[in-house]
Amino acid sequence: MFKRHKSLASERKRALLSQRATRFILKDDMRNFHFLSKLVLSAGPLRPTPAVKHSKTTHFEIEILDAQTRKQICILDKVTQSSTIHDVKQKFHKACPKWYPSRVGLQLECGGPFLKDYVTIQSIAASSIVTLYATDLGQQVSWTTVFLAEYTGPLLIYLLFYLRIPCIYDGKESARRLRHPVVHLACFCHCIHYIRYLLETLFVHKVSAGHTPLKNLIMSCAFYWGFTSWIAYYINHPLYTPPSFGNRQITVSAINFLICEAGNHFINVMLSHPNHTGNNACFPSPNYNPFTWMFFLVSCPNYTYEIGSWISFTVMTQTLPVGIFTLLMSIQMSLWAQKKHKIYLRKFNSYIHRKSAMIPFIL
């Protein structure tokens, strides 16, 4: 009896120990499950692995036709949408070596404007096949060459007349008549004007990298060189008559000439600043330099100062050839100024509409 009671007690003890062990295991499992749940929730929702996107580049097929005969010259394939007209010209030259990029003009239609080198294919393409018309523009020269030739010629030509070469003037007449001081002053002012032009072309102006037909160079040189010869011949002639009002007229005009030359230079330096060039350019604002205050009144003060220089030179020398040259230059520059003025009005929202193009309150 005693043994049976002892065995029952031991069984109860085992059952109690087993029950406690089971509770401990369940409690430990609950802790592990609770910890795992927190870990999953803190990690956030499962995200799928992002797929790698492959960029799709659109290619165009460029068909180039002769603008005169309308016959097909070649087809350029696999031209990307970011390619420019300049790139197309390079590919065209590789396919047809006789068509040089510098003398090829490409058009969307016959008789239309020539496309600029910076224009992209994407901006002009209506479909995957683009048709362009090619025109041979003839022998081309760079714009730097044009400007240097335009300005070097007048500088040297005027000096030849100033030296009174015997083949131009009568040697006896030149030796007998003394030169008036205005003749020396006119030579100085004329040289200053074209030396400034040359230095600005080389070191100030950002000349376009494009080209122009050779005939434009010939026409420009003929205009500048021809007028310089006419002007220099009259001013340096032994029979030249000085201005009517004497030294007062000469002095005032010379001072005004130098002021206009300085103003023109400072305006050109200001316009060459990176903030005022390119597609993201902003309209120049006057600064501490008094010569830049002309921007308060006109859009193109460089043309204003240029015309002021030639008017002063006309009054100082009082000669008909200089007056005619000044008139023609004024007409041409007024056309350029009005064209730029319209561009400024369209491009700059904060632009003051009350400004004039070149002459304050008039033009």
Q: What is the mean pLDDT of residues 52-66?
A: 69
Is residue 120, in this structure, part of any structural domain at all?
Answer: yes
Which residues span the domain enclosing 196? 138-241
Domain boundary among 192, 224, 241: 241
Q: What is the mean pLDDT of residues 266-282?
A: 72
β-bridge mates for residue 331, sequence order: none
Residues 353 and 334 in one domain: yes
Is residue 19, in this structure, part of any structural domain at all?
Answer: no
Is the model's pLDDT at 105 over the cut of 90?
A: no
Residues 149 and 236 in one domain: yes
Is residue 154, in this structure, part of any structural domain at all?
Answer: yes
Give the least confident one: 18-32, 240-254, 311-325.
18-32
Residues 130 and 169 in one domain: no
pLDDT at 281: 60
- Residues recorded for the chain: 363
Measured distance CA(165)–CA(174) in Å, rounded: 9
pLDDT at 111: 77
Q: What is the mean pLDDT of residues 286-311?
A: 91
β-bridge mates for residue 105, sequence order: 135
Residues 253 and 196 in one domain: no
Is residue 325, in this structure, part of any structural domain at all?
Answer: yes
Q: What is the mean pLDDT of residues 314-329?
A: 96
Instruction: Tell me which residue of 237, 238, 226, 235 sits closest to 157, measured CA to CA.
Output: 226
Is the model's pLDDT at 186 over the cut of 70?
A: yes
Residues 126 and 183 in one domain: no
Is residue 92, in this structure, part of any structural domain at all?
Answer: yes
Number of domains in the chain: 3
Is residue 105, in this structure, part of any structural domain at all?
Answer: yes
Residue 85 amino acid letter = I
Residues 249 and 354 in one domain: yes
Residues 248 and 190 in one domain: no
Domain boundary among 120, 137, 154: 137
Exposed/middle/buried for residue 298 (C-beta within 10 Å: 0-12, 13-18, 19+): buried
Write the pLDDT tens digit of every residue in 112-129: 788 887 888 888 887 888
Is the model's pLDDT at 280 over the cut of 90?
A: no
Percent of the chain with pLDDT over 90: 32
Give the least confident one: 41-45, 322-326, 350-354.
41-45
Residues 358 and 318 in one domain: yes
Domain boundary among 183, 210, 241: 241
Q: What is the mean pLDDT of residues 326-352?
A: 84
Is residue 100, in this structure, part of any structural domain at all?
Answer: yes
Is residue 75, in this structure, part of any structural domain at all?
Answer: yes
pLDDT category at 80 given cuts 50, 70, 90 is: confident
Is the model's pLDDT at 21 over the cut of 80?
A: no
What mean pLDDT value characterizes the chain?
80
Structure tokens at 252: 């005032």
pLDDT at 20: 57
